[in-house]
Amino acid sequence: MNVWLASRLVAVAAATTLVLTGCTGSGGSTDASASPSGGPGVTSPSPDVSTSDATTAPPTGASPTASASAPGRGESVPGFRGLLPLWPFATLAQAEDWEGEFRSGGHQPWHLDAEQTALSFTRHYLGFEGLDRVTSRSVDGRQARIGVGLSGTESTGTAAVVHLVRFGAGPDAPWEVVGTDDTTFSLTTPAYGATVSSPLKVGGRITGVDESVRVEVRQPSATAPLGTSCCTSAGGKGEPWRSSVSFAGGGGAVLTVVASTGGHLAEVERFTVTAVRTR
């Protein structure tokens, strides 16, 4: 076992001894009903560690979408009431399959790293290649919030704070993206976890000048967006923005709705996501 992998396993084992956040219900499950998609009044957490290092993609040969080859059934992440799996695993069975492969051969160890998972979600699943820097890190038990942003001398700071949870109960349960924490750019329509159909009405609030909002509907099992809408002009201080997007496919699965804006220093400077179910 290499040094990096050994250190990750030690860190993972230590993390499982921490007290889970939120209230516990029957069976000791975590009540994580706070909206992961942000919305009015939700702010990014104060990071306990910040870094300007450009931690980029998973190791060469580790496909960031290899584990999510089939759509899920719209089931919540076990232990986190109401939170839906967005990426990289569509179901608990897929996450457990990876755990078995990891235990037997060390397969794709980046799933144990919240920062790597958040960056790969941003760059490889959403396609925002320019957002290659971790701007903040907050890990509390089996939940993590990782800020991602642009690298370089003219950084816009944090583009989004990605919310992740551990998908499963074991000490080597992988990290799973469940949403984002929103501040100056939110996606509140549709509501997190809503059952939707096409065309989909979308909207939220934004603070900025001369913003251009692009909306996509994505699914882990598809390499291209299921639908795209571009672009909606927006701006002001906490002003509402509205749009609609048509999409095809994704029946019975959890989909990712992502809104992004930019064009000042980079094509994408801020983004927000929410999770929906399809009929």
- Average pLDDT over every residue of 2-29: 35
CA 36 – CA 274 distance, rounded (Å): 8
DSSP 247: -
What pTM was estimated for this model as a whole? 0.77
DSSP 126: S
- Asked if residues 274 and 253 have their Cβ atoms less than 8 Å apart, the reply is no
Q: Provide CB contacts within 8 A for 255, sequence distance 6+.
A: 196, 217, 218, 219, 226, 247, 275, 276, 277, 278
Q: Determine how β-strand 143-149 pairs with β-strand 158-166.
A: antiparallel
Half-sphere CA count of 97, side-chain side, radius 13 A? 12
Tell me the two tokens of residue 75: 């089931």
Residue 17 Cα distances to 8, 20, 72, 142, 170, angstroms: 15, 9, 30, 10, 12
Share of the chain above pLDDT 90, in %: 63
Residue 184 pLDDT > 70, yes or no? Answer: yes
3-class state of residue 236 by DSSP: strand
CA dihedral over 227, 229, 230, 236, signed as positive or negative: negative
Lowest-pLDDT choice from 14-23, 100-109, 145-154, 233-242? 14-23
Closest among 54, 44, 266 to 154, alpha carbons compared: 266
Write down the pLDDT at residue 59. 44
Lowest-pLDDT choice from 52-66, 130-144, 193-207, 242-256? 52-66
- Asked if residues 143 and 64 have their Cβ atoms less than 8 Å apart, the reply is no
Write down the pLDDT at residue 67. 43
Instruction: Give the largest Cα separation in the chain, rounded.
Output: 54
Write down the pLDDT at residue 117. 98
Write down the pLDDT at residue 155. 57
Write down the pLDDT at residue 84. 97
Write down the pLDDT at residue 74. 73
Q: Which amino acid is at 62?
A: A
Residue 66 pLDDT > 90, yes or no? Answer: no
Closest among 164, 155, 257, 261 to 205, alpha carbons compared: 261
The pLDDT-based confidence of 154 (bands split at 50, 70, 90) is: low
Between residues 162 and 222, which one has the greater pLDDT? Answer: 162
The continuous run of DSSP H or E covering 4 comes out as: helix 3-15
Write down the pLDDT at residue 72. 59
Residue 30 pLDDT > 90, yes or no? Answer: no
Domains and CATH numbers, the chain: 3-59+77-181 (no CATH), 195-278 (2.60.40.2550)
Write down the pLDDT at residue 5. 40
Average pLDDT, rounded, for the chain: 79
Write down the pLDDT at residue 170. 86
- Average pLDDT over every residue of 146-159: 82
Lowest-pLDDT choice from 66-70, 116-120, 157-161, 243-247? 66-70
Q: For residue 174, say if its preceding peptide bond is cis, omega within 30 degrees of 0.
A: no
